[in-house]
């Protein structure tokens, strides 16, 4: 592992100023992505409380959330009460000098505070405003509370996740929030590219349910053409075989994907079972799909006789896609993760150092970096308000005494 620091090359978004107004994951993940690639991200937080992600987590080592160092990384924290006129006026001045505003309040909240896009774009015609919400800015559901679990359910992901004989399951992460943040970041970059031609910014409307819907492959099209409703299928995709997680003799699980004819033939060679490749039940893609359960049982019986390392070595030797089902400690020890620095260790003022996932994707000429972990609440308030708005120490002291900042 290598340590990161603030002494890193500027990323491809260096010079871009982003104001982040939002909490939890969906909006802040968009800000994280932009900050990872060099943008100056100024996160506006409520004085005294800040983003709830500062307190979230299964455990709070040393009284601090292990979640915050990641979602807050590369950001400057400025405290500002957006519910009072003075706070709103200061926010408006900051936004006037920004390239991008990211927010994930319920639709209408910023308008209520006098910070709607019509007002902000009059001050700053080039402003790109990314709005992340459960159901988008329009439609009959726009005002509903929309957390990730609702977007995942209505976007179709929940229904197809889990075992067929049980109620729908959820992924172990808030994937709907992250997908919405990804779409918002993608929309921001497209809007900025458009600004180069027109000189004008625009609104990026990223709804959680639509962000989930966008990755649901052919689910809608297949239903429209055939009437087929995709169901839960557990660890497999019906008709795609072999493609499953198989047990090993030392208690690990290894996923193997060999559903193409050539790959399946190589798997049979690795198993010393040429009879399987010649068996009419498994001789083609469609046939293997029909007899998926029988084929999986044959493969599982064989993988159970091998240790995971030996099984993976045999799969690699025969050119068959395979990998262990990893937990966090497995990732930290894996040579591929280490060689590519997929997980980095960065200094932290409370923990000493923290591990976290690196910046992705990788750019060959101007890669992103983790410059610092999530900052302390209000750590950059005086710096930002003094440098960007010219506020004096006396004014800052007065604003702080009245809990405006």
Contact (Cβ atoms closer than 8 angstroms) between residue 321 and residue 263: yes
| Catalytic residue, candidates 36, 51, 99, 177 | 177
Angle between helices 393-401 and 381-389 in degrees, nearest 10: 130
Q: Which residues contact 308 (CB under 8 A, 6 or more apart)?
A: 248, 250, 252, 254, 324
Can 382 be counted among the known catalytic residues? no
Q: Kindly report whether the peptide bond that precedes residue 303 is cis, defined as omega within 30 degrees of 0.
A: no
**Cα torsion 214, 149, 142, 91: sign:** negative
Distance between CA 32 and CA 72 in Å, rounded?
7
Give the number of other Cβ atoms within 10 Å of residue 169's Cβ.
13
Closest CA relative to residue 210, chosen from 248, 154, 279: 154
Q: Which residues contact 186 (CB under 8 A, 6 or more apart)?
A: none
Q: Catalytic site residues?
A: 177
């Amino acid at each position: 592992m290598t340590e990161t620091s603030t002494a890193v090359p500027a990323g491809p978004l260096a010079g871009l100023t982003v104001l982040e107004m939002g909490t939890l994951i969906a909006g802040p993940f968009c800000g994280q992505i932009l900050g990872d690639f060099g943008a100056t991200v100024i996160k506006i937080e409520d004085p005294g409380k800040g983003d709830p992600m500062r307190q979230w987590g299964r455990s709070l080592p040393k009284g601090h959330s292990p979640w915050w160092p990641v979602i807050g990384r590369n950001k400057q924290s400025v405290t500002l009460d957006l519910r009072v006129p003075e706070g709103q006026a200061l926010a408006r001045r900051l936004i006037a000098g920004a390239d991008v505003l990211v927010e994930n309040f319920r639709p209408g909240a910023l308008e209520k505070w006098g910070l709607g896009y019509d007002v902000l774009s009059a001050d700053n015609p080039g402003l790109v405003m990314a709005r992340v919400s459960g159901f988008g800015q329009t439609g009959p559901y726009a005002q509903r509370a929309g957390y990730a679990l609702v977007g995942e359910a209505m976007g179709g992901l929940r229904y197809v996740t889990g075992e067929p004989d049980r109620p729908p399951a959820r992924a172990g992460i808030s994937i709907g929030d992250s997908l919405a943040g990804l779409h918002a970041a993608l929309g921001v970059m497209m809007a900025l590219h458009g600004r180069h031609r027109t000189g004008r910014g625009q609104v990026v409307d990223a709804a959680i349910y639509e962000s989930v819907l966008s990755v649901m492959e052919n689910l809608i099209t297949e239903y429209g053409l055939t009437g087929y409703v995709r169901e839960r299928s557990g660890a497999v995709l019906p008709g795609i075989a072999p493609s499953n997680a198989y047990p090993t003799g030392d208690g690990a699980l290894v996923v193997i994907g060999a559903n193409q004819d050539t790959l399946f033939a190589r798997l049979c060679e690795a198993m010393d079972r040429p009879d399987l490749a010649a068996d009419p039940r498994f001789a083609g893609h469609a046939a293997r799909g029909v007899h998926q359960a029988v084929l999986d049982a044959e493969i599982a019986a064989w993988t159970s006789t091998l240790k995971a390392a030996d099984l993976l070595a045999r799969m690699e030797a025969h050119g068959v896609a395979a990998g262990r089902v990893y937990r966090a400690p497995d990732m930290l020890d894996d040579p591929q993760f280490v060689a590519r620095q997929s997980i980095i260790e960065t200094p932290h003022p409370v923990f000493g150092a923290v591990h976290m996932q690196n910046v992705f994707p990788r750019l060959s000429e101007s890669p992103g970096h983790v410059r610092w972990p999530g900052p302390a609440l209000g750590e950059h308030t005086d710096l930002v308000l003094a440098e960007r708005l010219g506020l004096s120490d006396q004014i800052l002291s007065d604003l702080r005494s009245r809990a405006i900042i």
